[in-house]
C-alpha cells in the first residue's frame, strides 16, 4: 500500500548522508592514534570537523570529543526528523528517534538514583530524540529522581505519565527497575499503536519494534534469573508484543532457573547466539556480556535494513542505526584510548557495520 512520503527524495538524502559515515579504515586509523589530541585532529579532517571546532572552543581532550559527538548526532537525527516532517509523515521518525528519549530518561534516572555527578550523566546521554540537549541538561540539573519526574510533568512530556504512576511503588521498594519497566512498556505500547496499519512501512517498523521488545524482555529475563525473582513477580516485568518470544515462552525462560538453561531454550530462535557465549559467563552470571551481544544483534538487525526496500522507511532505520553505531564506536575508541587500553581489546569492543 502506498504511503504519503516521497521516499525518492528523502531516501536519496539519507543515502547521501550515509556516504559520509566513517569507514572501517578511518576507525582503524583512530585506534592507532597515540592519544586523545591526535584523535581530535583526525576527526577534524572528517565530516565531524564543524562540531569538533565548535566543541574545542570550550572543551579539551575527551570532553571535546564527547561534546562534538553529541552535537553531531543531535543535528543529524534532527535533520532526519525534519525531512520526514516536511513530507507530512513523521510518525516513523518519531518512533525511531524517541527510542533515544527513553534511553536518556532512564540514564538520568539511574544517575540520579546512585547520585552520580551531572557531568558523568551528561556524558552518557545521546540527544537524538525529541528531548533536545538544553532539555536534557535541565533534567540532569535536578537534585534527585523526584525532581526529574516533576520537571518532565511540568513540561508535559508524555514520559512523565508512567513515571508519575509508578513513583510511589519506586519510593517503597527503592527499585528503579519498576519505573524503567513502566517507561519501556509505555514507549512500546505507543509505538505499536502508531504502526498498526497495513502499509509496508508499518510492517517494517513493527518488525523492528517487536525485535526491540524481544531484546528488552531477554535482558529482563536474564536479570530476573540472576536476582532470583519469583515467577509471579517476574511476569509483571514482561512486555507484550515481541517478534519471536511471547509471554508464555518468556515465562518458561524465567522458570528455567539458571541462565544457561534459559539460553538453551532459545535454540532455533534468532537469539540462539546467546547460548554460545564462553562457559564462564554462565557460571559468573555476567549479564553485561549478554547485553553486549544483544546490542550487537540489534545494531546488525537495524543496519541490515539499509539493504531493504529502497523506497521505504527501511533506509532511514538502517541509517539511524549506522550513525548511532559510528558515534558509539568513536566514543569507545576515545574512552579506551584515554584509559590506555590495548588496541586489540579496543577492536574487540567495536561493532563494524
Select from 3, 15, 63, 199 the one that contacts other proteins (CB under 8 A): 15
Residue 191 is a binding residue for other proteins (CB under 8 A): no
Nearer to other proteins, 13 or 54 (CB): 13
| Rounded Cα distance, 131 and 105, in Å | 9
Least CB distance to other proteins at residue 343 (A): 33
- The reply to whether 16 sits near other proteins by the rule CB under 8 A is yes
| In the complex, minimum distance from the CB of residue 127 to other proteins, in angstroms, rounded to a whole number | 22
Q: What is the DSSP letter of 176?
A: T
Q: Is 264 in the site for other proteins (CB under 8 A)?
A: no
Shortest gap between Cβ of 5 and other proteins (angstroms)? 11
User: By rule CB under 8 A, what string of x and - marks binding of each residue 57-86 to other proteins?
Assistant: ------------------------------
Between CA 188 and CA 193 the distance in angstroms is 8
Binding status of residue 5 toward other proteins by CB under 8 A: no
Q: Which of residues 302-341 bind other proteins (CB under 8 A)?
A: none
Asked if 252 is part of the footprint of other proteins (rule: CB under 8 A), the reply reads no
CB of 11 to other proteins, least distance (A): 7
**DSSP letters for 141-168:** HSSSHHHHHHHHHHTT-TTHHHHHHHHH
| Contacting residue, 1, 2, 4, 8, with other proteins by CB under 8 A | 8
* 17 sits near other proteins (criterion: CB under 8 A): yes
Cβ atoms of 211 and 298 closer than 8 Å: yes
Reported as type and span, the H/E element at residue 238 is none
The answer to whether the CB of 273 falls within 8 A of the CB of 280 is no
**Nine cell digits for residue 89:** 509523515
Total site size for other proteins, rule CB under 8 A: 12
Closer to other proteins at the Cβ: 16 or 230?
16
Cα 290 from chain centroid (whole Å): 15
C-alpha 228/C-alpha 226 separation (Å) is 6
- Binding status of residue 19 toward other proteins by CB under 8 A: yes
Place of cell 513540561: 155
Is 2 among the residues that bind other proteins (CB under 8 A)?
no
- Rg of the chain in Å (alpha carbons): 20
In which element (H, E) is residue 337 found?
helix 314-338
Q: Which stretch binds other proteins (CB under 8 A): 16-24, 40-48, 257-265, 314-322?
A: 16-24
Q: Which is nearer to other proteins, 10 or 40 (CB)?
A: 10
Cα–Cα distance for residue pair 223/219, rounded to 1 Å? 6
Q: Among 8-16, 145-153, 235-243, 260-268, which window interacts with other proteins (CB under 8 A)?
A: 8-16
End-to-end CA distance of the chain: 30
Q: Are 146 and 163 a contacting pair, CB within 8 Å?
A: no
Report the nearest approach of other proteins to the CB of residue 1 (Å). Answer: 18
Q: How many residues can be counted in the chain?
A: 353
Separation between Cα atoms, residue 318 and residue 308, nearest integer Å:
9
12 binds other proteins (CB under 8 A): yes
x-marked contacts with other proteins along 20-49 as a string, rule CB under 8 A: x-----------------------------
Piece in contact with other proteins (CB under 8 A), picked from 6-14, 63-71, 165-173, 262-270: 6-14
Contact call for residues 180 and 102 (beta carbons, < 8 A): no
Binding residues vs other proteins (CB under 8 A): 6, 8-13, 15-17, 19-20
Amino acid at each position: 500500500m502506498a504511503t504519503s512520503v516521497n521516499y525518492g527524495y528523502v531516501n536519496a538524502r539519507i543515502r547521501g548522508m550515509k556516504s559520509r559515515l566513517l569507514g572501517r579504515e578511518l576507525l582503524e586509523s583512530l585506534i592507532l592514534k597515540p592519544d586523545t589530541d591526535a584523535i581530535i585532529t583526525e576527526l577534524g579532517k572528517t565530516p565531524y570537523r564543524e562540531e569538533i571546532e565548535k566543541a574545542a572552543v570550550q572543551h579539551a581532550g575527551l570532553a571535546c570529543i564527547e561534546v562534538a559527538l553529541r552535537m553531531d548526532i543531535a543535528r543529524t537525527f534532527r535533520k532526519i526528523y525534519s525531512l520526514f516532517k516536511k513530507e507530512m509523515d513523521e510518525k516513523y521518525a518519531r518512533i525511531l528517534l524517541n527510542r533515544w528519549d527513553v534511553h536518556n530518561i532512564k540514564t538520568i534516572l539511574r544517575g540520579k538514583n546512585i547520585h552520580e555527578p551531572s557531568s558523568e550523566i551528561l556524558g552518557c546521554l545521546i540527544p537524538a530524540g525529541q528531548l533536545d540537549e538544553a532539555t536534557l541538561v535541565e533534567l540532569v540539573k535536578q537534585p534527585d529522581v523526584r525532581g526529574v519526574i516533576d520537571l518532565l510533568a511540568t513540561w508535559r512530556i508524555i514520559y512523565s505519565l508512567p513515571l508519575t504512576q509508578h513513583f510511589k511503588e519506586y519510593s517503597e521498594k527503592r527499585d528503579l527497575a519498576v519505573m524503567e519497566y513502566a517507561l519501556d512498556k509505555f514507549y512500546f505500547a505507543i509505538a505499536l499503536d502508531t504502526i498498526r496499519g497495513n502499509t509496508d512501512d508499518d510492517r517494517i517498523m513493527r518488525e523492528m519494534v517487536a525485535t526491540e521488545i524481544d531484546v528488552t524482555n531477554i535482558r529482563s529475563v536474564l536479570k530476573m534469573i540472576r536476582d532470583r525473582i519469583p515467577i509471579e513477580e517476574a511476569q509483571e516485568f514482561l512486555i507484550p508484543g515481541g517478534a519471536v518470544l511471547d509471554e508464555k515462552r518468556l515465562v518458561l525462560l524465567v522458570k528455567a532457573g539458571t541462565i544457561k538453561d534459559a539460553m538453551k531454550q532459545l535454540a532455533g530462535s534468532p537469539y540462539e547466539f546467546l547460548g554460545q557465549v564462553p562457559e564462564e559467563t554462565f557460571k559468573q552470571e555476567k549479564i553485561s556480556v549478554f547485553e553486549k551481544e544483544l546490542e550487537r544483534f540489534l545494531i546488525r538487525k537495524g543496519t541490515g535494513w539499509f539493504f531493504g526496500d529502497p523506497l521505504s522507511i527501511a533506509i532511514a532505520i538502517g541509517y539511524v542505526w549506522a550513525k548511532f553505531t559510528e558515534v558509539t564506536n568513536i566514543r569507545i575508541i576515545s574512552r579506551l584510548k584515554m584509559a590506555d587500553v590495548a588496541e586489540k581489546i579496543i577492536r574487540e569492543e567495536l561493532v563494524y557495520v
